[in-house]
Amino acid sequence: MDPIYVGIIGTIIAFLLLFLGMPIALALMLVGFLGVWHLSSLGAALPVASRTVYDVATNYAYMVIPLFVLMGAFATSSGLIENLYSSFDKWLRRIPGGLGAATIAACAGFSAVSGSSVATAAAMGAIAYPQMKKFNYSPRLATGTIAAGGTLGFLIPPSIGFVVYGMLVEQSIGRLLMAGIIPGLALAVTFVIIIAVQVKLNPALAPSKPEPVSFKEKIKAFTGVWEILVVFLMVMGGIYRGWFSPTEAGATGASLLFCVALAKGKLNYKGLFQSMQETIRVSVMVLFMVAGATVFSYFLALSTIPAELAGWVVSLDVSPYAILALILIIFLFLGCFIDAVSMMVLTLPVIYPLVIGLGFDPIFFGVVCVMMMQVGLITPPMGLNLYTIAGTTREVPLEDIFLGALPFVIPIFIVVILITIFPQIALFLPEAMLGR
């Protein structure tokens, strides 16, 4: 049988296994192993599977994943997220939808020390929703804001999204992390704007305004953000200046946040155990998925599908941007059914060679790719952040959370379009870093 047909059949089988409920790592590894066996030999397939799992588990560079997850766990344990929300609340509460704006700002701040969007959404759901409920905010606006703000954890470094992308396509994780800073801040600002627009059009969404805060209190509120600011500057500044690698930066950030949690007296044995448990769970899940994707990539390479598809698309007489738009539509569709990391793992082996063949910068595409994965976090029926908020609030119907999050898809597309038109928004910091 023609290798291309074998590749197509294998891909279809992988999707069927996913829809039947098999974990994506196992599905990809099984299909990849059987595909390599069929196209080559059992003697070739066995070493591919075993060596890949071993290499992923022992690769020093991949240690950045548990370290970034641990940073977020320690930040939550130390109570930094409550201080962060309180500080931004004092500065932003008087603008339309001010508590929503404070929630977005706090999510952006927490994202600077946590690589997980779900962790960001869960932490802010427990803190911000009761406050917005107290001031009669619409449950749709409140939960939609928290769900959307949580997506910033996938974009603003340290971001697991960029780490997984860099691992899969063998690009510099440090440059990818730097590329996410400006787009992440731009997206946070557009989220705040969309909240203000909604409240202006329908004041009933946020009918009650908190009492004003004096300038002295606002200045004092900065004491709630300095720890996170210091950690972020140490981690990202160290990567930018070349003082240490992303893995060393993750270790530095985790150590600093551990010391903060100890100094505040917030980290007991139970909290430490839970932090370690969550770190192990997330890290093993992501690393095993990367191993499965790598085995599947070997199979696809043998089938020649990526090379043939890239050659066919490059030969088409259409603009590369038209192809990019089609890829983004595919991401949008898949995001409704597959979680963000799984979608990356499943699509990049085929799509990445195609994009590079069209002449797009791999760092630029990494930012666009991660941003499109964010859409999947807040669109039904998959939307992990939506279910996270539903589980946190326990009183808002799931359909209301879905409807509340939908307006926030618009800002993501706006920023993606801006980055496509002006790639330097994403490439400025990585290029400056490269010049050092």
| Full 3-state SS string of the chain | CCHHHHHHHHHHHHHHHHHCCCCHHHHHHHHHHHHHHHHCCHHHHHHHHHHHHHHHHHCHHHHHHHHHHHHHHHHHHCCHHHHHHHHHHHHHCCCCCHHHHHHHHHHHHHHCCCCCHHHHHHHHHHHHHHHHHHCCCCHHHHHHHHHHHHHHHHCCCCCHHHHHHHHHHCCCHHHHHHHCHHHHHHHHHHHHHHHHHHHHHCHHHCCCCCCCCCHHHHHHHHHHCHHHHHHHHHHHHHHHHCCCCHHHHHHHHHHHHHHHHHHCCCCCHHHHHHHHHHHHHHHHHHHHHHHHHHHHHHHHHHHCHHHHHHHHHHHCCCCHHHHHHHHHHHHHHHHCCCCHHHHHHHHHHHHHHHHHHCCCCHHHHHHHHHHHHHHHHCCCCCCHHHHHHHHHHCCCCHHHHHHHHHHHHHHHHHHHHHHHHCCHHHHHHHHHHHCC
Angle at the Cα of 130 from the Cα atoms of 129 and 135, rounded to 5 degrees: 95
Residue written as token pair 């089988």: 13
- Per-residue confidence band for 412, with pLDDT thresholds at 50, 70 and 90: very high
More confident of the two residues 100 and 395:
100
Give the per-residue pLDDT at 341: 76
Residue written as token pair 């997330």: 282
Give the per-residue pLDDT at 434: 61
- Per-residue confidence band for 361, with pLDDT thresholds at 50, 70 and 90: very high
| pTM for the whole structure | 0.81
Asked if the model's pLDDT at residue 77 lies above 80, the reply is no
Structure tokens at 98: 């001010």
Q: pLDDT tens digits for 234-276? A: 888 888 777 888 888 888 888 888 888 888 777 777 778 888 8
Residue written as token pair 């098999």: 22
Give the per-residue pLDDT at 180: 92
More confident of the two residues 127 and 137:
137
Region label for 278, one of left (φ > 0), alpha (ψ between -120 and 50) or beta (otherwise): alpha
Give the per-residue pLDDT at 376: 81
Query: d(Cα 414, Cα 52) in Å, to the nearest integer?
Result: 39
Task: Tell me how crowded residue 212 is: count the other CB atoms within 10 A of its CB.
Answer: 9
Interval 284-306 mean pLDDT: 80
Contact between 31 and 14 under an 8 Å Cβ cutoff? The reply is yes
Give the per-residue pLDDT at 144: 92
Asked if the model's pLDDT at residue 411 lies above 90, the reply is yes
